[in-house]
């Protein structure tokens, strides 16, 4: 059995880290990619030698429905085109778990399939919800995957003030893909992954 974190202390620290990212001033971010409905910014990460990415866009659905699709569970695997498997390894309480998931190769397999083991936590934030996570050093590895590492990451989802049937979704992602990958390939992949994430999510919610 792995040494699991003290869920309560760990989740509080994780939540506070995400709230700190959410308060970073606008002028600290540089635009990495912009589409009609999503903007992705980046700034140097304080956790590792890569970047902290911020993504933001409006989703045409209510907060609970959006977060139910994002947090670990059967919904996520159905619509997230990057994710190829998802298993819940340990449940702490309803809103807190350890999950293992794998991702498909990217950029014509310059980035080969990856595996992550993350602690995931969902909690109320202002009038909405925050679903956040961080990778754990899990000893059991599978040889067909490179083990990636997610530094503190998460999704804030709050209702729009003038239309509570729509939600503002803001994500913070800082993934160390590990392995021998040029930084330029990582940057291209991360910005595209985030804009695709919003597109996939919107399609899934329209079907739901």
pLDDT tens, residue by residue, 59-109: 999 999 999 999 998 789 899 989 999 999 999 887 999 999 999 888 777
pLDDT of residue 1: 41
* 173 closest CA partner among 127, 202, 138, 131: 131
- pLDDT band of residue 111 (cuts 50, 70, 90) is confident
What percent of the chain clears pLDDT 90, i.e. is strictly above it?
Answer: 73
Supply the pTM of this predicted model: 0.94
pLDDT tens digits along 142-201? 888 999 999 999 999 999 999 999 999 999 999 998 887 888 888 888 999 999 999 999
Residue 126 above 90 pLDDT?
yes
Q: Are 131 and 153 in contact (CB under 8 A)?
A: no
SS3 letters for 124-178?
Answer: EECCEEEEEEEECCCCCCCCCCEECEEEEEEEEEEEECCEEEEEEEEEEEEEECC
The answer to whether residue 15 scores a pLDDT higher than 80 is yes
CATH of range 7-20+37-207; options 3.30.530.20, 1.10.3720.10, 3.40.50.300, 3.40.50.2300? 3.30.530.20
Question: For residues 114, 119, 123 and 125, what is the CA-based torsion angle, rounded to 10 degrees?
Answer: -60
Strands 146-147 and 30-34: unpaired
| Segments making up each domain of the chain, as ranges | 7-20+37-207
Confidence at residue 153, expressed as pLDDT on a 0 to 100 scale:
98
Given a contact cutoff of 8 angstroms between Cβ atoms, the answer to whether 76 and 154 are in contact is no
CB 66 within 8 A of CB 79: no
pLDDT at residue 2 is higher than 70: no
């Amino acid at each position: 059995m792995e040494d699991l974190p003290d869920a309560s202390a760990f989740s509080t620290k994780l939540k506070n880290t995400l709230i700190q990212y959410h308060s970073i001033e606008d002028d600290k971010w540089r635009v990495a990619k912009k589409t009609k409905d999503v903007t992705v910014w980046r700034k140097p990460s304080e956790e590792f030698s890569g970047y902290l990415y911020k993504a933001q866009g409006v989703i045409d659905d209510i907060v609970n429905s959006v977060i139910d699709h994002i947090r670990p569970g059967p919904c996520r695997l159905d619509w997230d085109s990057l994710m190829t498997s998802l298993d819940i390894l340990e449940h702490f309480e309803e809103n807190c778990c350890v999950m293992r998931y794998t991702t498909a190769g990217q950029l014509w397999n310059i980035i080969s399939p990856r595996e992550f083991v993350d602690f995931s936590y969902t909690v109320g934030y202002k009038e909405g919800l925050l679903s956040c996570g961080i990778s754990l050093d899990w000893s059991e590895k599978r040889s067909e995957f490179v083990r990636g590492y997610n530094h503190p990451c998460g999704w804030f989802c709050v209702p729009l003030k003038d239309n509570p049937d729509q939600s503002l979704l803001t994500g913070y992602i800082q993934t160390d893909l590990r392995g021998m990958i040029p930084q330029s390939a990582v940057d291209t992949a991360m910005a595209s992954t985030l804009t695709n994430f919003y597109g996939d999510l919107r399609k899934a919610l329209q079907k739901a």
